[in-house]
A and B are shown apart, each in its own frame.
Chain A
Amino acid sequence: MSAKKDREKRREERQQRQSEAAENARRERLIKLASAAAFLAIVAVAVAVVISQSQTSGGDTNLENIDEVETDLANIPQHRLTLGLSTAKVKLVEFGDLQCPICREFAVNVLPELIENKVRTGEARLEFRNYPILGPESVTAAPAAIAAGEQNRGWDFIELFYKNQGTENTGYVSEEFLTSIAKGAKVPDIPRWNRDREGARAKAEVKHTTAEAEQLGFGGTPSFAVEGPGTKGLEPLGTPGSLGEFEEAIDDAA
């Protein structure tokens, strides 16, 4: 009887040892497999994050020329996308695409002096109208300029955008880039700017100015038009090549 009990006890102990060993083996296997699975998952997420972040690079969010833009535009009234006194007799309209490199050339090489000679003096006011023709990122950028204009920082936004422009449609016109331009342009209410640029009104305005540019026969950017006492409504100028030509057109329209 006692021998039988002993055998049973030994068997139970053996079974317990076996089950403990099996549980330990299971745990070890679990740790190995789980570590491998977790490693793979972490690598997958890291790759996704790197790809996602690299998509946004290419735009320069360390903005250049903020001071220069501020100096160019200092103390000149802005209303929406119009720069200059509302009493100025002549209105010079730029149909531009924020991604367009030639528009940038104009903004860098001609505009500062034109502003100094004709806008600051009250002879002309300058109006920007979006004509986004270079692709999807132009279409994204256009309402952002209008939204900045809603807070009367439109020209700061446009000038700063041009001066920090990247290569067309390479993904640089990101939320981050646009926001950095808006902040650099000192748009006071960024959440409002975000709402406005996403709103139907800004998009409708882009559509309207695009149709207007086409109606005037413009096939590229920047294209200019002038209106004053000496013109019959808004007259297309095309793309004048020099500061002198712009000044002459403004004088003729006055």
Chain B
Amino acid sequence: MSAPSEGTLRAVTTFVAAFGIGVAAYIAIAEAGGGAPACLAGGGGCETVAESQYADLAGINVAVIGIAGYVLLLVTALLRGDGARMGGFAISLAGFGFSVYLTYLELFVIEAICQWCVISAILMTVLFGLNALRMLRYTGIEP
């Protein structure tokens, strides 16, 4: 099976990263107002997660860190070359690893699930896949 062209990978990455910025921005804005994102299926999961002490990392809201991550991934998707391929891979791997950790916290420590965080974790996983494929397939081949 032939891999999709780098142009296709970059276009899909751009779209997913932009969607991620939207999701993370919604969480950040909802929490900045002292509340929590509205849970799609009701229940208090989002509120519990938003009010837990894990909602901030070194004083910075985790959703804001998420926005920064998605913006960087968007930038690497728009740029050409090995630097962008490696940057995208490294950032998406870090984002994926951090999402795994946050999902672990939700399931086993906070014991509450926020669907918005789950959506973000899925997007980050997709971005990791796209960036890994781009890096493995196209590094050193095309400018």
Contact = CB atoms under 8 A, between A and B. Distances in A.
Interface in A176-193: 176, 179, 191
Contact of B97 (A29, A41, A51, A55): A41
B95 to A, nearest CB: 8
Contact of B93 (A26, A30, A41, A179): A41
B44 interface: yes
Contacts of A76: none
Contacts of A25: 140
B90 A38 contact: yes
Contacts of A140: 51
Given A40-B90, A175-B110, A26 B140 contact: yes
Q: Interface majority SS on A: helix, strand, loop or mixed?
A: helix
A174 interface: yes
A175 B53 contact: yes
B135 A45 contact: no
A56 interface: yes
A29 B53 contact: no
Contacts, number: 85
B56 to A, nearest CB: 8
A25 B97 CA distance: 29
Nearest to A54: B58
The B interface is mostly helix, strand or loop, or mixed, namely: helix
B94 A44 contact: yes
B139 A30 contact: yes
Contacts of A175: 52-54, 109-110
A211 interface: no
B107 interface: no
A25 B86 CA distance: 17
A9 interface: no
A40 B91 CA distance: 9
A41 B57 contact: no
A48 B91 CA distance: 13
B86 A34 contact: yes
B97 A30 contact: no
5 contacts: A30-B136, A38-B90, A44-B94, A49-B101, A55-B54
